[in-house]
A and B are shown apart, each in its own frame.
Chain A
Amino acid sequence: MRVVKHTETNGRGRHECGSPEHRVHRRLFLQGSMASGLASVASFNGLFSIPALAEETKKQGKKCILLWLCGAPSQFEMWDPKPGTITGGPFGAISTSIPGIQISQLMPRCATIMDKLAVVRSMSTEPNEHFQGVDVLTRGEKPRPPFTRPILGSVVAQQLGQLDSPVPQFVLLDPCPEGNEFKSFKAGNWAGWLGAQYGPVRSGGEYSIPDILRPEALSEMDHEDRESLRKFLSRKFENDRRSEAAAGYNAAFERVQGLMSCAPLFDLEKLPQADRQRYGLGAFAQHALQARHLIENGSTFVMVANGMPWDNHVFQHEMHQMLVPELDNVLFQLITDLELRGMLQDTLVIAMGEFGRTPWLNEARGRDHYSKAWSLAMAGGGIRGGVVVGETDPLGFEITQNAIDNRRLFATIFKALGIDPQEQYDLPDLPTFHRVEGDAQPIQEILLG
């Protein structure tokens, strides 16, 4: 396996410009991904092996599930309802388990666990188009070419990932191969300067880990037997000539059995029927359940998406009447399950998109992109529940209190996971990069302890 450094030195103490990136580029070029938009994250050659982590950087075993509401959901139909106003839309608001906090009537189940949820109603970010929005809200920072900041999942997996787990540490569950701008985004470089091995393993829908199952005609015994002979011969070659290439090759083979053993984690059919019913039968809900399953079994970061269904320029209410209740139930089930399993305090659940939707309705009674004032929610991990951060005006046009940008959001997420937000990346001779730029401070009121 590759030894991983943030950058590769060229043996003369100098560092190459985005060298890992060039390598990724070269491979993407070879795969034709640059041209045809093939998803680079379709490559599952991700985080099966984490380089040895120094003990002190190995945090408390925290984990994270990101429910990625791609396309950008409407805050009015979720966390910041404005019932009875001209911008409020057709859905009402309901009370929650926390007096004084109301959310959309489309979220009755979350209303019962409001004490576990932290809602930010004052997200205010810059990009107003999907690609740029996705970029900033998954990486935490605007791009600064040619450097590519790693995506949240890559950072978390690199920081918190388990060295010896056969289970992939960063998983993207997204059954939709298309997705317009999200498709282009998926074809890009997710792991950035951390290196491609911190990219996600993709599964869901037509995506599965190729060749994770033994050929049917081969018995399990034969499979193991022949591997022991292979190993003997291959190790002998490695040892006889101290071959680094062979060592890497053999190490990769060592992963095969472990990975095959986690094949069931990627098989939706193997999930308990009762759980599948409980989470909801749509792809997003099923993969959210799978995310819980993966986290329980050793993954560190699971991102769940389903294309970009939230981009409702038309059929806004017709779509949100379905998408929001699905999310409502998923959040409820996930948070409840994690709590029942004693995992909630170590597992951060985030539900967010790349921005919000306009207060006004367009002619198609859809809502358009709005990054000026929007909402998201988090629970578990190091997050304090029952708190609403920030506020918008009565029609939801402007933030009236405590605007939160992408940097403060990321500082909060990292802090909640026990990762130092201010730490500097070890990228000598290159511009100084921090995990979160601008000394942005986490949102203290929703952090525990």
Chain B
Amino acid sequence: MPQSRTFESLPFLALVFTAGLLVPQCAHAQESEVTAGSTASITDMAVRIDREIAAGYSKHGIEPASLCSDEDFVRRVYLDLAGRIPTVVERASFIEDVSPDKRLACIDRLLASEDYVQNFTDTFDSILMGRGNRGKVAERKKLWRPYLENVFRNNRPWDQVAREILLARPDSPDQAGAVWYLFERQDNAQAIAEAVAPAFFGIRIDCAQCHDHMIASEIRQQHYWGLVAFFNRSKNQKTDAGPRIGESAIGGFSEFANIHGASSPNILTFYASKTVEEPRPEKDAKQEDIDELYQAPLPPNEPRVPKFSRRTKFVDEILSGHPMFAKAFVNRVWAQLMGRGIVHPFDQMDSMHDPSHPELLDGLANDFIATGYDVRNLIQGIVASRAYQLSSIRPQGVDDPALFAWSIERSLTAEQLARSIQIALQQRVENDHPMLPELRERMPDVMPETIVTDVGDTLFLANNPKMHQVILEGSQKDGLIARLALQADPKGAIDDLFIAILGRHPDDAESEAVLEFIQRSGTADSFEGKISRWQNVVWAVLTSAEFRFNH
């Protein structure tokens, strides 16, 4: 591939050199001189990514897309990190910035922002808890959300977070919310197991409930029931200190039957890990729940802890050091930022779904471990890579998205959409906008396997009263529509419109189309008439595909 095409974008060129990257002029070249140190710096990660991804291009003999423009970059990185499009001012200051490392600086700034905290909290809340259970909104808000916010605000190591969530025995108040993950599942150990496997290990075990996985045969029925067993002695308790997860020292022994009727004991075991030994009582033998089976009394309000605690065993012996743990996280964050996982779908990392770039996945997972499960560092590394910063225009003749040869389009999540609409119309954001609950319900997808637009989505955008209300709000003082209607020069207004909503200038055809629309009909003369016209224009731009996707 001709090297001259690699650095079309001056800012990136500058970035590469000023960031001190020892990347040769071709970002995908094999002969990188970077040697991975014991701590993987962002730049190490970015280099690793670009090296491995470029190796894929070479192998398939393709040319990737060019580097994306600053306009594209600023919109993309704001959506990915801050969960919204940039304001007009944020956009302009980035574009006008002439400093050579402005992309890295922008990434740093966003990762340090509260927007980042809220955005990642939203995503992880959806991934870990789902969007439902509206009955529990209050508790989630009070306990779970602050916990997640704290995780991202303080960049807490992911291994510790996972441990806190799955052990669910908070030893400080800022961990209290972690119990909600198990608590909300209301003692349903199967529901817990089915949620834990994809969330922390990147595999789905639902299929293995009744028999060994039909296709990914390494996922066995005993893994399903073993994972269930680690949680089947746990029981929700309401204490004065808040919700807690108690655990019994006895019980939880059963047999599971496969479809052929053969039964097996539910020993404490899990996929790609070991078996935790625990003596099984004789069948029908009665176990006594005596005090001696529990640790000496905890502080008041805390449930007692069995001396042999299955949850403790799980976090100490299964979770800790599990070969899938770091990979699952890395793959998911990759999928979130890159449009698909290195293993796709991101939560089916089984023998049926090979990684597109196995060395990259291993390398990033090792880097992640080496940095002490530093979440922000991982994100930074991915976003700083050239692969992330490619144009979203698919090169001719290239059609396999698993090569990451162009930036894969992604739908805005409900939260990103609600925030971005507000930014476009008001230049400010209210996190709990009235349209959000319905939008979440109607467009629940987060990192879907494939992008699907249902007619319901478009009906929402076309007719939903809350959507209509948002347009009306944008027509009030300081709103985009009011500002456009007040502008004497329609051409200037059209330019402002495109910048505010799409983050770019209109081309001639677009400009003409909008102008014709505005100038049509006599009502345009009155202010109300103008407002009404601009409302329709703003709606049309907001609901165009360009706004709907991150590209």
A17 touches B546 (CB 8 A): no
Stretch with Cβ within 8 A of B (4 or more), from A21-29, A303-311, A417-425: A21-29
Please measure, in the bound complex, the distance between the C-alpha atom of A30 and the C-alpha atom of B442, giving whole angstroms. Answer: 11
In the assembled complex, A278 has its CB within 8 A of some CB on chain B: no
B207, B449, B459: which contacts A17 (Cβ < 8 A)? B207
B458 touches A44 (CB 8 A): no
A27 touches B135 (CB 8 A): no
Given contacts A218-B468, A249-B545, contact A34 B455 (CB under 8 A): no
B352 touches A16 (CB 8 A): yes
Please measure, in the bound complex, the distance between the C-alpha atom of A241 and the C-alpha atom of B549, giving whole angstroms. Answer: 13
Determine the residue in chain B with the shortest Cβ distance to A243.
B409
Find chain A residues with CB under 8 A from B464 CB. 210-211, 215
Interface residues on A, range: 35 or more
Find chain B residues with CB under 8 A from A210 CB. 442, 456, 459-460, 464
A259 touches B459 (CB 8 A): yes
A14, A237, A252: which contacts B453 (Cβ < 8 A)? A252
Please measure, in the bound complex, the distance between the C-alpha atom of A234 and the C-alpha atom of B459, giving whole angstroms. Answer: 16
Please measure, in the bound complex, the distance between the C-alpha atom of A177 and the C-alpha atom of B346, giving whole angstroms. Answer: 34
Please measure, in the bound complex, the distance between the C-alpha atom of A328 and the C-alpha atom of B534, giving whole angstroms. Answer: 57
Determine the residue in chain A with the shortest Cβ distance to B185.
A35
Given contacts A10-B352, A229-B537, contact A30 B444 (CB under 8 A): yes
In the assembled complex, B131 has its CB within 8 A of some CB on chain A: yes
Please measure, in the bound complex, the distance between the C-alpha atom of A396 and the C-alpha atom of B195, giving whole angstroms. Answer: 48
CB distance from A224 to the nearest CB of B (A): 10
B134, B513, B537: which contacts A32 (Cβ < 8 A)? B134
B409 touches A35 (CB 8 A): no
B347, B510, B549: which contacts A246 (Cβ < 8 A)? B549
B448 touches A26 (CB 8 A): yes
Q: Which of B408-446 contact A (CB under 8 A)?
A: 409, 411, 441-442, 444-446
B132, B455, B513, B551: which contacts A233 (Cβ < 8 A)? B513
In the assembled complex, A184 has its CB within 8 A of some CB on chain B: no
A222 touches B532 (CB 8 A): yes
In the assembled complex, A341 has its CB within 8 A of some CB on chain B: no
CB distance from A100 to the nearest CB of B (A): 47
Please measure, in the bound complex, the distance between the C-alpha atom of A255 and the C-alpha atom of B353, giving whole angstroms. Answer: 35
> Lowest 3 A-B CB distances belong to which pairs?
A32-B132, A246-B545, A45-B454
**0/1 string, B527-546, CB within 8 A of A gives 1:** 00000100011011101111
CB distance from A2 to the nearest CB of B (A): 5
A241 touches B345 (CB 8 A): no
In the assembled complex, B452 has its CB within 8 A of some CB on chain A: yes
**0/1 string, B363-397, CB within 8 A of A gives 1:** 00000000000000000000000000000111000
In the assembled complex, B526 has its CB within 8 A of some CB on chain A: no
Find chain B residues with CB under 8 A from A429 CB. 215
B459 touches A212 (CB 8 A): yes
CB distance from B356 to the nearest CB of A (A): 10
Q: Which of B495-543 contact A (CB under 8 A)?
A: 509-510, 513-514, 517, 532, 536-537, 539-541, 543
Find chain B residues with CB under 8 A from A22 CB. 204, 345, 348, 449
Given contacts A241-B392, A430-B214, contact A18 B207 (CB under 8 A): yes
A12, A226, A241: which contacts B537 (Cβ < 8 A)? A226
Find chain B residues with CB under 8 A from A17 CB. 207, 213-216, 352
Find chain B residues with CB under 8 A from A32 CB. 130-134
Find chain A residues with CB under 8 A from B545 CB. 234, 237-238, 243, 245-246, 249-250
A34 touches B540 (CB 8 A): no
**0/1 string, B194-215, CB within 8 A of A gives 1:** 0100000000101101110111
B130 touches A31 (CB 8 A): yes
B441 touches A31 (CB 8 A): yes
Determine the residue in chain B with the shortest Cβ distance to A144.
B259
A33 touches B132 (CB 8 A): yes
Q: Which of A113-154 contact B (CB under 8 A)?
A: 145-146
**0/1 string, A147-182, CB within 8 A of B gives 1:** 000000000000000000000000000000000000
Please measure, in the bound complex, the distance between the C-alpha atom of A14 and the C-alpha atom of B353, giving whole angstroms. Answer: 10
Given contacts A226-B539, A245-B545, contact A215 B452 (CB under 8 A): no
In the assembled complex, B465 has its CB within 8 A of some CB on chain A: yes
Find chain A residues with CB under 8 A from B131 CB. 30-32
B444 touches A31 (CB 8 A): yes
Determine the residue in chain B with the shortest Cβ distance to A218.
B468
A229 touches B517 (CB 8 A): yes
B510 touches A31 (CB 8 A): no
Given contacts A30-B126, A32-B134, contact A245 B544 (CB under 8 A): no
Find chain A residues with CB under 8 A from B345 CB. 22
Find chain A residues with CB under 8 A from B455 CB. 45, 48-49, 252, 255-256, 259
Determine the residue in chain B with the shortest Cβ distance to A233.
B544
Please measure, in the bound complex, the distance between the C-alpha atom of A233 and the C-alpha atom of B545, giving whole angstroms. Answer: 8
Find chain B residues with CB under 8 A from A31 CB. 130-132, 441, 444
In the assembled complex, A217 has its CB within 8 A of some CB on chain B: yes
B353 touches A10 (CB 8 A): yes
In the assembled complex, A38 has its CB within 8 A of some CB on chain B: yes
B441, B451, B551: which contacts A248 (Cβ < 8 A)? B451
B402 touches A11 (CB 8 A): yes
Number of interface residues of B (CB under 8 A): 75
A145, A218, A227, A242: which contacts B209 (Cβ < 8 A)? A145
In the assembled complex, A86 has its CB within 8 A of some CB on chain B: no
Please measure, in the bound complex, the distance between the C-alpha atom of A215 and the C-alpha atom of B402, giving whole angstroms. Answer: 42
Determine the residue in chain A with the shortest Cβ distance to B462.
A256
Determine the residue in chain B with the shortest Cβ distance to A222.
B536
Please measure, in the bound complex, the distance between the C-alpha atom of A401 and the C-alpha atom of B452, giving whole angstroms. Answer: 51
Contacts A32-B134, A246-B546 known; 18 new A-B pairs at CB < 8 A: A17-B215, A22-B345, A25-B204, A30-B445, A34-B132, A210-B464, A211-B459, A225-B517, A226-B539, A227-B462, A230-B543, A246-B545, A246-B548, A248-B452, A249-B453, A249-B549, A251-B453, A256-B458
Find chain A residues with CB under 8 A from B456 CB. 43-45, 210-211
B191 touches A34 (CB 8 A): yes
B134 touches A252 (CB 8 A): no
In the assembled complex, B400 has its CB within 8 A of some CB on chain A: yes
A236 touches B510 (CB 8 A): yes
Find chain A residues with CB under 8 A from B394 CB. 241-242
What are 10 sample pairs from A and B whose C-beta atoms fall under 8 A apart?
Answer: A2-B452, A22-B204, A22-B449, A26-B347, A145-B210, A230-B540, A236-B509, A241-B551, A245-B411, A259-B459
In the assembled complex, B172 has its CB within 8 A of some CB on chain A: no
Find chain B residues with CB under 8 A from A243 CB. 409, 545, 549, 551
Please measure, in the bound complex, the distance between the C-alpha atom of A31 and the C-alpha atom of B131, giving whole angstroms. Answer: 5
Please measure, in the bound complex, the distance between the C-alpha atom of A250 and the C-alpha atom of B132, giving whole angstroms. Answer: 28
Please measure, in the bound complex, the distance between the C-alpha atom of A241 and the C-alpha atom of B454, giving whole angstroms. Answer: 21
CB distance from B480 to the nearest CB of A (A): 15
Find chain B residues with CB under 8 A from A255 CB. 455, 458
In the assembled complex, A270 has its CB within 8 A of some CB on chain B: no
Find chain A residues with CB under 8 A from B441 CB. 31
In the assembled complex, B38 has its CB within 8 A of some CB on chain A: no
Please measure, in the bound complex, the distance between the C-alpha atom of A253 and the C-alpha atom of B463, giving whole angstroms. Answer: 12
Given contacts A233-B540, A245-B411, contact A36 B517 (CB under 8 A): no
Please measure, in the bound complex, the distance between the C-alpha atom of A365 and the C-alpha atom of B486, giving whole angstroms. Answer: 76
In the assembled complex, A209 has its CB within 8 A of some CB on chain B: yes
In the assembled complex, B287 has its CB within 8 A of some CB on chain A: no
Please measure, in the bound complex, the distance between the C-alpha atom of A220 and the C-alpha atom of B403, giving whole angstroms. Answer: 46
Find chain A residues with CB under 8 A from B532 CB. 222
Find chain B residues with CB under 8 A from A12 CB. 354
A209 touches B544 (CB 8 A): no
Please measure, in the bound complex, the distance between the C-alpha atom of A11 and the C-alpha atom of B215, giving whole angstroms. Answer: 16
Please measure, in the bound complex, the distance between the C-alpha atom of A64 and the C-alpha atom of B551, giving whole angstroms. Answer: 44
In the assembled complex, B35 has its CB within 8 A of some CB on chain A: no
Find chain A residues with CB under 8 A from B213 CB. 17
Find chain B residues with CB under 8 A from A44 CB. 456
CB distance from A391 to the nearest CB of B (A): 36
In the assembled complex, B457 has its CB within 8 A of some CB on chain A: yes
Given contacts A17-B213, A241-B393, contact A23 B540 (CB under 8 A): no
B463 touches A215 (CB 8 A): yes
CB distance from A242 to the nearest CB of B (A): 6
CB distance from A394 to the nearest CB of B (A): 39
Given contacts A2-B450, A26-B448, A209-B459, contact A217 B468 (CB under 8 A): yes
